[in-house]
Amino acid sequence: MSDPILPHDHGQMLELNADLIPSADNFQIVANVFKQLSDGSRLRIFWLLCHCEECVINISSLVRMSSPAVSHHLKQMKASGLIKSRREGKEVYYKAADTEQAELLHHMIEKIMSITCPSP
């Protein structure tokens, strides 16, 4: 694919070859991950699971939400690959996925919180 002819010449060199611009599908994948974290409750649960492994009942207690609400958020985050689960007897335990993506999001959340949230 050849570089497009830009409608406006602003006198700047476009150093990025049009073929190197990621596809809209790639950006949609990233948007879907951010959509998972656009809910404050889900974000809080994800942050918690970056620090520990817990069952739904304990997560519910820690974040002061109903178990069905927490389960709903966990299902969405698991489907997007941000968290994983394991069964032990009748209990299911959740924690952040051991992926570079989850680790990066965890660090990003903590960095943004440190620069935007007031100190306790």
Mean pLDDT value across the chain: 87
Strand order in the sheet with 83-88: 54-55, 91-96, 83-88
Domains contained in the chain, CATH given: 40-116 (1.10.10.10)
State the pLDDT confidence band at 16, using cuts at 50, 70 and 90: low
pLDDT tens-digit map of 19-70: 777 888 888 888 888 888 889 999 999 999 999 999 999 999 999 999 999 9
> What is the model's pLDDT at position 13?
58
pTM: 0.78
Q: Is the pLDDT of residue 1 over 90?
A: no
Q: Is the pLDDT of residue 113 over 70?
A: yes
- Nearest to 108, CA basis, from 12, 6, 30, 20: 30
* Better-predicted residue by pLDDT, 3 or 55: 55
Tell me what percent of the residues of the chain surpass a pLDDT of 70.
84
**Which residues are paired to 93 by β-bridges?**
55, 86
